[in-house]
Amino acid sequence: MTADQLAVSAPSTSPRPAAAPTLRIRALMLGDRINASGLELGTLVSSTPAAFRVHAGLAVIFRYGVVVLIGLLPSEEKVLIDGLKPRVIGEFSPYEEETAQAQLCNDENAEAIQPGGPICLAKFSDDRLLLVADALAKSTSLARDERRVAAVFDVIEPFARELAERGRTPRRRRAILQLIGNALLVQQRVAGRVAVAEKPDVLWEKPELDRLYARLEDEYELKERLDTLERKLSAVSETANALTDIIDTQRSLRLEIAVVVLILIEVAIGCIQIWSGTH
């Protein structure tokens, strides 16, 4: 066998490129709110939202009930969540959860989010990880609100069907008022505490990261989901208010009929008394 043949048949010993480092990111919605006042989990990285360096990872706590855990082991996550439970107001069971993977791309121009794939970051800096945490936390909160609104639609549908098929309105005014209350609660969460449409505070100090956050918004469709949710909430409120108005009108009509009947009875009794007195 010639040297050329040996060169062709020899196995390649060139080293394979090392896989890019990755971080596991997990967002959990623990309840309606988390009281982060005076919380000490480790080295403080950010105050708004409250973010702490925990072991080799990062824990970001949002006041609207979401905690985002970045680069922590499952055992470390469990200890941290158990420690937060006393601070959770209106704890959920089960928790709302979303996960993602962040991957190092070593090039700021290559920062992108592949559909269903990892989030490519130029470096695992605190500022970038806070942006990812913000987007993932908002997405997790929106997911729960979307389910709540869908449940309200499931309740409204029988009311609307009964009105369409039988021309009758439901008499359960309390149930309709509860629907309005649920819609108002979701509106208050989305517009007030979560503030999906608002950009995170870190962009005020790092405006150069605005393009990365815009990509995160597109990946999780935050604006589109918010618009859809607000349209559904408006439909719920309008439908519930219309049903309530119809019920109130029917009650007023029945009350007026009862008053007329009582007046007629009183007139009849008076006529009978007059007729009896004349005889």
Task: Show the tokens assigned to 134.
Answer: 């913000």
- Considering the domain architecture, whether residues 97 and 153 belong to the same structural domain is answered as no
Helix (H) or strand (E) holding 279: none
Instruction: Look at residue 116 and tell me if it is in a domain.
Output: yes
- Considering the domain architecture, whether residues 148 and 107 belong to the same structural domain is answered as no
Instruction: Look at residue 7 and tell me if it is in a domain.
Output: no
29 three-state secondary structure = strand
Alpha-carbon distance of 87 to 66, in angstroms, equals 12
- Considering the domain architecture, whether residues 161 and 208 belong to the same structural domain is answered as yes
What was the pLDDT predicted at 122? 87
Residue that terminates a domain, selected from 89, 124, 159: 124
What was the pLDDT predicted at 80? 93
What was the pLDDT predicted at 5? 45
- Considering the domain architecture, whether residues 181 and 105 belong to the same structural domain is answered as no
Q: Are 27 and 137 in contact (CB under 8 A)?
A: yes
- Considering the domain architecture, whether residues 147 and 252 belong to the same structural domain is answered as yes
DSSP E strand stretches across 119-243 = 119-121
- Considering the domain architecture, whether residues 163 and 254 belong to the same structural domain is answered as yes
Instruction: Look at residue 245 and tell me if it is in a domain.
Output: yes
What was the pLDDT predicted at 233? 78
- Considering the domain architecture, whether residues 151 and 111 belong to the same structural domain is answered as no
Alpha-carbon distance of 68 to 50, in angstroms, equals 11
Total tally of structural domains belonging to the chain = 2
pLDDT digits (tens, 9 = 90+) for 136-156: 999 999 998 888 888 777 777
The number of residues in the chain equals 279
Instruction: Look at residue 54 and tell me if it is in a domain.
Output: yes
92 three-state secondary structure = strand
For the chain, 279 residues long, the average pLDDT of each consecutive 10-residue run is: 42 48 92 88 89 91 93 92 92 90 77 78 91 93 86 74 66 67 69 71 87 89 88 76 68 74 81 74
Q: Which domain holds residue 80?
A: 22-124
* Ramachandran quadrant class, 106 (left: phi over 0; alpha: psi -120 to 50; beta: rest): left
Q: Whole-model pTM? A: 0.74
